[in-house]
Amino acid sequence: MFLALDLFVEKRPLMRSFIDKIPFLIAGAAIAIAAASVQPDMGHRPDPYILSFALVQNIWLLSGFGTYVQYRMPPETAATGFEIAAAIFLLAVFIAPLLLRRMFPVIVVLIYWILFAFIPSQILSFTHPVADRYMFFPSIAGVILLAWGLIALMEKLFKQKGWITGIILLLAIAFFWVKATLDYLSEWKDPRSIWFAASKKSDDPVIMQNLASHYMEHARKLTNPSLANESSRKEVKLLAKEIWKDSTQLPQLYKEWESGIQGGPVDKKFQNYLNSLSGDAFGKAIANKGNRIMGGLYYNRGLLLLNQDKLAEAKKDFIACVDEVSRESFSAVSNELNVYCYFNLGVIAWKEKDFREALRCFRLAEEEQIRFGRVLMPSITVNRKQLETIVASMPAN
C-alpha cells in the first residue's frame, strides 16, 4: 500500500520507492511467517471461485448493509468453467483500478488498500473465508472512499451546494449504519447467546454446534453448582427468563434458586429442557455438516447423551467421532479427541460391566495421551490399573 501511494500519488520512481520499503517488508514478512506458522492445516487451498465469492461478500459487507454473522456456509468448489471465469474476474478486479491512476490517484490507492487488506485472510485459506474481523482494516479505506466519492459526486451534480447534499446523504447512511450496529450488538447481549441469532442467518453447522454446547454447558453447571460462579448464575437466570418466559413454572424455578435448593423438581425440569434444546441443535448441526470433518460435534453430543445415561446412543457418537477424526488433517485435534473418546467409551463399557472392553478402551486412551505428549485425562492410568486388577480376578473366557 505504501508502494501504491508512492507510485500513484507521489509519482516516485519504482526502484527508489522499493528500496525504502525494505525495512517494512522485512518486518511484515516476519509477522506473516509467525502468523502463518501457527495456523493449522485445514486442508483448504486457495480456490478462484471461492476467492471471488468471498470478495463479493466482503465488499457487500463493507457497504454496511450486508448481514453480519460470525460464520457463513462457505461455497463449494465449482466446475472448471466457473473456476476459469472466477480467475479472470479476480485479475480484472485487481487490474481495473490502474485505469484511474492518472485522474484519481488517491482513489486508486484506497481501492488497492481495500483489495490488499483481504489478501492475508484468503491466502491462509481459513474454513470461513468471510468473517466480520476481516472487515476492520479495509473498512478504514472504505469509509474514506465513500465520503470522498459521495461529496465529489454531489459537488459535480449540484455545484456549489453539492457538499451540503453530500453531507446530508452521509448522515443518512450513518443513521442506518448506527441502527444496524445497535441491532447487531443486541444479538451479542442475547442471553440465548450470539449463536441463537446467528442460527437464523446461516446454515453453517458450527453455529448450531456452538449453540448446542452453550445450552449443554448451562445444564452442566446446574447439575454441578461448583462449576458456576456469580456471573454464570446471573446468565442462567436471564436465559431462563428468555426461554421459559411463557412457562408457568418460571416463578417456581426462581424460588428454588433463591432458596438455595439445587436439583429441585423444577430445576431438573429446566435442566432437561436445556438438554433437549442442546440435542435438537446438535441434530441440526449433524444434518447440515455435509462433508465437513467435525469430530468435536459427535464428541459433544456423545457427552450430552452420556450425561443423560443414554449409553448406547452415546457410544455410537463416540465411535463416530473416532471415525471422523481419522480423516482430520490437524493432528493435535485428532489426538485430543481420540483420548477423550476412548476414555468415555471405557466409562460406558465399565457402566455396562464389560470390564475387558473398558480396559481395552482405557489402554487406547492412555496410548493416545502418551502420543499427544500432554496429560489430558489424569485418571486414565488409575482407571486402567483398577480394571487390570478386576480383569485379572475374572475367570478366563
| pLDDT computed for residue 24 by the predictor | 92
Rounded distance between C-alpha atoms, residue 207 and residue 282, angstroms: 10
Beta strand ranges found along 105-249 (DSSP E): none
Residue 67: half-sphere exposure toward Cβ, Cα within 13 Å: 9
CB 200, CB 192: distance < 8 Å = no
CB 249, CB 269: distance < 8 Å = yes
Which of the four pLDDT bands, split at 50, 70 and 90, describes residue 27? very high
Question: Among positive and negative, which fits the CA dihedral 33, 36, 41, 44?
Answer: negative
DSSP 159-189: GGGHHHHHHHHHHHHHHHHHHHHHHHHHHHT
Question: Among positive and negative, which fits the CA dihedral 330, 336, 337, 338?
Answer: positive
| pLDDT computed for residue 125 by the predictor | 65
| pLDDT computed for residue 43 by the predictor | 58
CA nearest 68: which of 197, 204, 205? 197
| pLDDT computed for residue 44 by the predictor | 63
Rounded to a whole number of angstroms, the distance between the first and last alpha carbons of the chain is 74
- State the average pLDDT for the chain: 89
Instruction: Give residue-wise pLDDT tens across range 34-84.
Output: 887 777 665 567 788 888 888 998 999 888 888 888 777 666 777 888 889
| pLDDT computed for residue 374 by the predictor | 85
Does residue 289 surpass a pLDDT of 70?
yes
| pLDDT computed for residue 40 by the predictor | 65
| pLDDT computed for residue 317 by the predictor | 97
CA nearest 338: which of 315, 308, 361? 361
CA-based angle 274:276:278, to the nearest 5?
70
Instruction: Give residue-wise pLDDT tens across range 164-209.
Output: 888 888 999 999 999 988 998 999 999 999 999 999 988 889 999 9
Rounded distance between C-alpha atoms, residue 62 and residue 49, angstroms: 20
| pLDDT computed for residue 72 by the predictor | 76
| Best mean pLDDT range from 176-180, 222-226, 282-286 | 282-286
Which of the four pLDDT bands, split at 50, 70 and 90, describes residue 262? confident
CA nearest 278: which of 316, 222, 348? 222
In order of 55, 62, 81, the CA distances from 180 in angstroms are: 21, 13, 37
| Best mean pLDDT range from 16-25, 110-119, 312-321, 325-334 | 312-321
CA nearest 302: which of 343, 247, 252, 244? 343
Average pLDDT score over residue span 152-157: 82
170 phi/psi in degrees, rounded to 5: -65, -40
CB 198, CB 71: distance < 8 Å = yes
Share of the chain above pLDDT 70, in %: 96
CB 351, CB 318: distance < 8 Å = no
Instruction: Give residue-wise pLDDT tens across range 110-140.
Output: 999 999 998 888 877 677 788 888 889 999 9
Tell which wins on pLDDT, 104 or 124.
Answer: 104
The residues, any chain, with a CB within 8 Å of residue 58's CB and separated by 6 or more, are 118, 130, 134, 135, 138
Residue 394: half-sphere exposure toward Cβ, Cα within 13 Å: 13
Rounded distance between C-alpha atoms, residue 273 and residue 247, angstroms: 12
For 140-161, give one letter per residue: b (16+ CB within 10 A) or e.
ebbbebbeeebbeebbeeeeee
Average pLDDT score over residue span 153-165: 80
Least confident among 59-73, 178-192, 243-257, 296-310? 59-73
Question: Among positive and negative, which fits the CA dihedral 98, 104, 110, 114?
Answer: negative
Which of the four pLDDT bands, split at 50, 70 and 90, describes residue 273? very high
Q: What does the block give as the cell for 185?
A: 450488538
Which of the four pLDDT bands, split at 50, 70 and 90, describes residue 241? very high
| Best mean pLDDT range from 169-173, 255-259, 272-276 | 272-276
Does residue 397 surpass a pLDDT of 80?
no
346 phi/psi in degrees, rounded to 5: -65, -40
Share of the chain above pLDDT 90, in %: 53
The residues, any chain, with a CB within 8 Å of residue 260's CB and separated by 6 or more, are none
Does residue 387 surpass a pLDDT of 90?
yes
